[in-house]
Copies of this chain bind each other. A is one copy, B any other.
């Protein structure tokens, strides 16, 4: 039961009209070989996130179908929402799963970028697919949203990688990229002192000498201090190891982790790691999970 090689996690600028959202999702669902794993719509941000997975060719076709459906269903010039949107299809990252590499995902992103550009979107490649170091970071591409891009597009440093060299106001610009798989895992503290969350984040994140594969920020969310983490390499730092580091650092500040949350999906292996760690299990593999046999094994 191998994972498919790639996951795509597009964000598009419609989070309110269920019929439009349904038609956009159906454009992907109707491509053979593509599995939709999740769809989350946020009416405040007027934005939806779709997750789908499959082999390279089905994902290419599904991505083009998605861009076409966004072009039909969404008029960016009439769109309102809290999120600084830049395109009707706004961002389209490809993530390697299973045996695929980040470079495989970047190649897929470039192929998709070229085809979506031909539909009339200004396409910027980012992260592992970026064509220049100053264009790796999504936040730098998105700065100022649609209007920011409009103001920069004639600067040779910000020329789109594919598509027209002038923004179509209905379509806008889309960032197409490749990034590693990550788990978004947040810990809420029993304090409203965000400085404690920031100090803990600095202690645990790789950038400041902490745990490998851990990115972390201290934030205020819903009146609680939150350590917001991305875990990018579960073999180096698993969820329990990251959390125990946060719990220990919190204790030094007289605080405690009150609860945690997982944003989006986690691979089963991350959950099995957690059970092995805390239960001191000698062995726990996918085959020991009842449902994996029911769902995944054709013949064993």
Q: Interface on A for B, CB 8 Å cutoff?
A: 1, 3-4, 7, 29, 35-39, 51, 53, 97, 239-240, 243, 257-262, 264-268, 271-272, 274-275, 277-284, 286-297, 299-300
Contact = CB atoms under 8 A, between A and B. Distances in A.
Q: State the main secondary structure of chain A at its contact with B.
A: mixed
A243 B279 contact: yes
B294 A3 contact: yes
B260 A280 contact: yes
Contacts of A286: 291
A258 B296 CA distance: 33
23 contacts: A35-B297, A36-B297, A37-B290, A37-B293, A37-B294, A37-B297, A51-B293, A257-B280, A259-B280, A260-B280, A260-B281, A261-B283, A262-B284, A265-B290, A265-B293, A266-B288, A267-B290, A267-B291, A268-B292, A271-B272, A275-B275, A277-B278, A291-B295
B293 A35 contact: yes
Given A36-B300, A274-B274, A295-B296, A268 B280 contact: no
A239 B260 CA distance: 20
Nearest to A287: B38
A186 to B, nearest CB: 9
A287 B39 CA distance: 11
B274 A279 contact: yes
Contacts of A278: 240, 274, 277-278
A3 B291 contact: yes
A187 to B, nearest CB: 8
Contacts of A287: 38
Contacts of A279: 239-240, 243, 260, 274
Contacts of A37: 290, 293-294, 297
